[in-house]
Chain A
Amino acid sequence: MVRYLARRVIWAAVLFIAVTLVAYVLFFLIPNDPAKLVAGKAATDADVKRAAHFLGTDRPFYVQYAKFLDRLVIHQNLGFSFANRQSVNSIVGNAAPVTASLVFGGAIFWMLLALPIGILSALRPRSLLDRASMTFVLIGISAHPIWIGLIFAYFFGFKLGWTPITGYCDFINPSTDCGGPVQWAYHLVLPWATFAILFAALYVRMIRANVLDTMNEDYVRTARSKGAPEHLVLRSHILRNAMLPVVTMLGMDISLALGGAVFTETVYSLPGLGKTAIFGLNNNDIPTVEGVIVFATLAIIVFNLVVDLLYAWIDPRIRLT
């Protein structure tokens, strides 16, 4: 267990260096000078030089990268935005809860949809419910999330006026116009739904298949032969096993979904990490983009570790070595 954790941490460090370095290199391949942007349109060459020196972009890229690493590792400081001089720590700190709300809320949303539909259609294959849910799966898988997002925004937000189309409300700190759990959820319903449709469809299909497979396992028959009532057979023997692969997939898909959040945040103008990164890219704001990358990488690494530990905990056959 200790060795397992040690190996994971070393891996995480390697991964972390690789990801941030690649991101840095990519920036230097883009022929654009952030100093020009900072210095403004009317700046002279001397102004731009001064700005470049001030930002540190006149140094070779490995020096910049080393300085970045030093700041990050020693001072836990992501630096300051080239665009507006704000601390990147606080930019990321403000954006992360938005993305987390979107992704984890979306995951809960899709699981709440997929679990009952998947289980019920496995219990009654070829029933009306099963056929209806398979149709939903087909639509969910074939339609692009952006298209679904726009359709949802148009009908539920614009035509019916049921939900807000844009904006974000904080869960804990109410600002002047909105705040608190209800407003938070209210503003996120459409993004969640958009985000969740594709995954819900995939998960309905996966849960249904797993439950159908597990129902035919010998140990399920053993449970019945002991005289276990059906609800116990379902809960303790079928679902407990059928959900193992679902948990693994969920871990991977939530990481994936972090990437997908970029689209959803753009469609609904949510001030999350995706939107922040895009804004940073458009403005050549290296520190902000790097900050988002660092944070997202760390988040995914930690999240995967948690999922692995969780998985080993629920499946006794898995040994962490």
Chain B
Amino acid sequence: MALLEVRDLKTHFRTDDGIVKAVDGVSFSIEKGQTLGIVGESGSGKSVTCLTIMGLNPKRNTISSGEAIFKGENLLAMSSSRLRDIRGNDIAMIFQDPMTSLNPVHRIGAQLVEAIQLHRDVTKRQARARALELLNAVGIPRAERRIDDYPHQFSGGMRQRVMIAMALVNDPDLLIADEPTTALDVTTQAQILTLMTDLQKDFGSAIIIITHDLGVIAEVADDVVVMYAAKVAEHAPVDNLFKRPHHPYTWGLLGSLPRLDADVERLVQIRGQPPSLLNPPRGCRFHPRCPYVMGICKTVEPELLPAGDEADHVQACHLDVATKDREAAKVLAGTMAEAS
């Protein structure tokens, strides 16, 4: 049994302009100790997917459906007190922006101690010792002195380390990291990623990591979900995705990766803007931006199916597999089809 199995997850927000379908039928699963990467453009519903799993969307205007089965229990259907037991204990989350994710008026030690004492029946002193252990583990220099500092006394990278320490403090089985490195500079990014993978080895947690950056995915993920406009466009083991990408949107993402060996001029950007989630395009949601668009794409929504012979590599595109393989080969060689 998978550690977490998400089935047909939908999250819609009621807004003044209408219903925003931020997540519209997303399914995936993740095993113990594995890393799942979720990539996609800004606004494709990556964060909302994870917030829905954690039950952290604003209650007032959210409608969610589908299932998120975690160790046999549906997170979307359980009581709020049971969900609170799981949050921070079995599933922990690291957020996109380390600058605003820590409470400015509490010492970081107190924030870690709170995380521990919410789930463990330990004294303050024991909790503090554990907090210190984690701060050392995430590489905060002179942690025993800095534990009583306030968040504003830390840099962005250090705050993200604190967030990671706080997330790992109760040994969660699943760690959800929502763009943990986006707000940081390149060197710090690399350090944080290494830190997360090292800690994963030590703690044995499964990780869901959200990112815009295929480079990050290549480095840490076992499995990749490519999201486009609230839906899954492609889902494959990481090697497969990089060797034999099936979806034109994935090609676009791969094509826009800077390559040292190819002519920079040929860098491909995906044309146009992501579609509105209030009123998504009919048929395939990617068709208005797709260089390979066919008649069928404008009316029939493609299903998420294996294109070739690997059952664990699914994609939602009407192109035939021969064309896919040919075009994918061009993209990987650094030349996107002239159709774009």
Contact = CB atoms under 8 A, between A and B. Distances in A.
Interface string A29-70: 000000000000000000000000000000000000000000
Given A221-B95, A225-B92, A226-B88, A316 B150 contact: yes
Given A226-B115, A316-B150, A221 B56 contact: yes
A223 B104 CA distance: 12
A218 B105 CA distance: 14
Chain B interface size band reads: 20 to 34
B119 interface: yes
A314 B150 CA distance: 12
Interface string A219-246: 1011111111100000011001100100
A217 interface: yes
A314 B87 contact: no
Contacts of B152: 316-317
A217 B103 CA distance: 9
Nearest to B150: A316
A223 B114 CA distance: 9
Main secondary structure of the interface of A (DSSP, over half): helix
Contact of B103 (A216, A223, A225, A227): A223
Contacts of A219: 100-104
A121 to B, nearest CB: 14
Interface string B93-137: 101010011111111000000110011000000000000000000
A315 interface: yes
A222 B95 contact: yes
B298 interface: no
Interface residues of A, number: 22
A227 B87 contact: yes
A256 B285 CA distance: 60
Contact of A237 (B93, B103, B150, B163): B103
A300 to B, nearest CB: 27
B118 A226 contact: yes
A231 to B, nearest CB: 12
Contact of A227 (B86, B100, B105, B107): B86
A7 to B, nearest CB: 23
B88 A225 contact: yes
Interface in A88-139: none
Contacts of A317: 104, 150, 152
B84 A227 contact: yes
Given A228-B118, A316-B150, A222 B102 contact: yes
Interface string A6-41: 000000000000000000000000000000000000
Interface in B57-105: 58, 81, 84-89, 92-93, 95, 97, 100-105
A226 B114 contact: yes
A222 B103 contact: yes
Contacts of B93: 225
A240 B56 contact: no
Contact of B105 (A224, A229, A315): A315
A316 B87 contact: no
B11 to A, nearest CB: 15
Contacts of A225: 54, 56, 87-88, 92-93, 95
Nearest to A221: B56
B100 A224 contact: no
Interface in B279-320: none
B328 to A, nearest CB: 38
Given A226-B114, A226-B166, A218 B88 contact: no
B56, B97, B104 — most chain A CB neighbours (10 Å):
B104
A316 B100 CA distance: 15
A227 B102 contact: no
A241 B103 contact: yes
Interface in B256-283: none
A228 B107 CA distance: 17
B14 to A, nearest CB: 13
A314 B56 contact: no
Interface in A183-237: 216-219, 221-229, 236-237
B100 A217 contact: yes
Nearest to B54: A225
A224, A225, A229 — most chain B CB neighbours (10 Å):
A225
Interface in A233-278: 236-237, 240-241, 244
A216, A218, A222 — most chain B CB neighbours (10 Å):
A222
Contact of A229 (B84, B86, B163): B84
A316 B107 CA distance: 9
Nearest to B166: A226
B88 A227 contact: yes
B114 A241 contact: no
Nearest to A216: B58
Contacts of A241: 103-105
A98 B196 CA distance: 64
B309 to A, nearest CB: 41
B147 to A, nearest CB: 14
B114 A218 contact: no
B43 to A, nearest CB: 18
Contacts of A240: 103, 105-106
Nearest to A223: B103
Nearest first, the 4 closest Cβ-Cβ pairs linking A and B are A227-B88, A226-B88, A227-B87, A218-B100
Interface of A: 216-219, 221-229, 236-237, 240-241, 244, 314-317
13 contacts: A217-B100, A218-B100, A219-B102, A222-B101, A222-B103, A222-B166, A226-B88, A227-B87, A227-B88, A236-B114, A241-B105, A316-B105, A317-B104
Given A222-B102, A316-B152, 20 more contacts: A218-B97, A219-B102, A219-B104, A221-B101, A222-B95, A222-B163, A225-B56, A225-B87, A227-B86, A228-B84, A229-B81, A236-B106, A237-B103, A244-B105, A314-B105, A315-B104, A316-B104, A317-B104, A317-B150, A317-B152
